[in-house]
Amino acid sequence: MNPFRSRSVFAVFAIALLALVGLPVAGTAVAAPEAAPRVVTYDAGGAADFRDVVDEAARIWNSSVDNVRLEPADGSADVVVVADDGWPRARTDGLGRGKIWMGRQAVDQGHDPTRIAAHEFGHIFGLPDRRTGVCEELMSGHSAGTDCSSAHPNGEEAAEVDRNFAAGVAVPPELFVDSAPAADQQVRY
């Protein structure tokens, strides 16, 4: 066999073999491996009658973002969720760490509990309160009124959370708490 031809056959065979086993071949684009999402564990054991809505809020966030995933804790947790009779609130202890209080006062006034849980997880993910009154903005919180049951972050909120976790944003310890609107005060927009 001609030496040039045998080298050509060998080269074709070698390229085919490399492609078959998944090794990069010159001129072939290779996608960078995607970073695994950061897992943030939560313990809803103290959430009492809100446990199911906390789990639903976690599912909503998991379907909305790529860089973080909420999972129930098996042992110690990054986020502890408890129920009390006050107004809902969250305390951050850094990005993806903190405590959520599922306050019954807001639910008793007619606010959607799943929206409350998702909103409070938003704080844990580095989002501030934005009192816009717009129902489609999760972080508008109670300013959207009791008719609002949207528990999904909008595209901008989800993108901000993804950026926070991609960049490892430093979230200072902070307590996010609202005072309940007075009983005779209606929120109008």
CATH code of residue 42: 3.40.390.10
49 found inside a domain: yes
| Annotated active-site residue in 120, 137, 157, 160 | 120
Considering the domain architecture, whether residues 24 and 117 belong to the same structural domain is answered as: no
pLDDT tens per residue, range 96-148: 999 999 999 999 999 999 999 999 999 999 999 999 999 999 999 999 999 99
CA–CA distance, 28 with 138 (Å, rounded to integer): 43
CA distance 20 to 169: 41
Range of the structural domain that residue 108 is part of? 38-177
pLDDT of amino acid 178: 73
122 in Cβ contact with 95 (< 8 Å): no
Q: Please indicate, yes or no, whether residues 140 and 53 belong to a single structural domain of this protein.
A: yes
pTM of the model: 0.79
Whether 165 and 129 share a structural domain: yes
What is the number of domains present in the chain? 2
pLDDT at residue 180, as a whole number: 62
Q: Are residues 111 and 73 in the same domain?
A: yes
State whether the Cα torsion 114-115-119-122 is positive or negative: positive
Same domain assignment for residues 42 and 86: yes
Q: Do 65 and 127 belong together in one domain?
A: yes
117 and 163 part of one domain: yes
The angle at the Cα of 56, spanning 51 to 62, to the nearest 5 degrees, equals: 130
Residues 82, 146, single domain; the answer is yes
Indicate whether 63 and 21 sit together in one domain: no
Alpha helices for the chain (secondary structure H): 3-21, 51-64, 104-108, 113-124, 155-167
Confidence of residue 23 (pLDDT cuts 50, 70, 90): very low
Q: Is 71 a catalytic residue?
A: no
Position 5 scores a pLDDT of 55
